[in-house]
Amino acid sequence: MILDRSKEKTEDFLARHAAGNLTEHEKITLLKVMEMQRHAMLMFTSCGWFFDEISGLGTVQIIQYAGRAIQLARELFDMDFEGPFMEKLSRAKSNLAKHKDGAQIYEKFVKPAMIDLKRVAAHYAISSLITNYRDTEQIYCYSARKEDYQLIQSGATKLVIGQLTVTSDITFYSETISFCSLYLGGHDFSGGAATFPDNQIYEHMKQEIITTFERGGHCRHNQAN
């Protein structure tokens, strides 16, 4: 199952090893628990501790494994182990003054690398300004299905706004996420992603943003639902 994370293989694994028929919520919970356990084991990878500098590539990698286990524990049990973990990391001093200690290394290199479904949606929003995505796309270990998508252009400036259902191919967890991204030319991109309690709030937000954007000049629309 680790070497082949396809939905078919995962479903077959669950069918063979689960005590009974699982609901979708139970499958997601079970897969998250197993993924948390996998990263908890990976964080003890011995090569990460063979170096004399905590900011080294191998050591940062195993701290990232620990960070993923902490992230999943927070989602599953609403328990936050990050504080105590960082307190312990702060006792591990770096040989480089710019890195200070393990806690600062965690803040600089581990937390920015953490991925959740909203960050996947934000990546999609920005990259869709320069990439023509299909209705369903594979983004690394996530599946993204377009629910609503509107592109508006005024000269070199582009605005994209829409909704996306993002699903983890590892845990099956899924969310419908609203996104917006603005391209001002060159390398100037900005945007964000959020979930809304109902579609009416999303539509209101969408119309407000489009109206504000269109005040800047004549725009060309490209909409897909």
Dist CA 176 CA 205 (whole Å): 15
Dist CA 34 CA 28 (whole Å): 10
- Check if the beta carbon of residue 125 is closer than 8 Å to that of residue 190: no
What's the pLDDT tens digit per position in 11-52? 999 999 998 999 999 999 999 999 999 999 999 998 777 778
- Paired strand residues for 31: none
The answer to which of 36-40, 64-68, 79-83, 154-158 has the lowest mean pLDDT is: 154-158
Asked whether the predicted pLDDT for residue 217 surpasses 60, the reply is no
Asked whether the predicted pLDDT for residue 221 surpasses 70, the reply is no
Alpha helices for the chain (secondary structure H): 7-17, 24-42, 57-77, 82-89, 102-105, 117-127, 199-214
Residue 123 pLDDT grade (very low, low, confident, very high; cuts 50, 70, 90)? very high
Across residues 146-153, what is the average pLDDT?
95
Asked whether the predicted pLDDT for residue 146 surpasses 90, the reply is yes
H-run or E-run covering 139: strand 136-139
Dist CA 46 CA 54 (whole Å): 13
Dist CA 107 CA 184 (whole Å): 30
Dist CA 107 CA 83 (whole Å): 12
Across residues 67-93, what is the average pLDDT?
96
Dist CA 41 CA 19 (whole Å): 24
Dist CA 155 CA 220 (whole Å): 9
Classify residue 215 as exposed, middle or buried by CB count within 10 Å of its CB (0-12, 13-18, 19+): exposed
Question: What pLDDT, on the 0 to 100 scale, is given for residue 185?
Answer: 87
Asked whether the predicted pLDDT for residue 95 surpasses 60, the reply is yes
The answer to which of 64-68, 93-97, 187-191 has the lowest mean pLDDT is: 187-191
Dist CA 44 CA 47 (whole Å): 9
- Check if the beta carbon of residue 26 is closer than 8 Å to that of residue 10: no
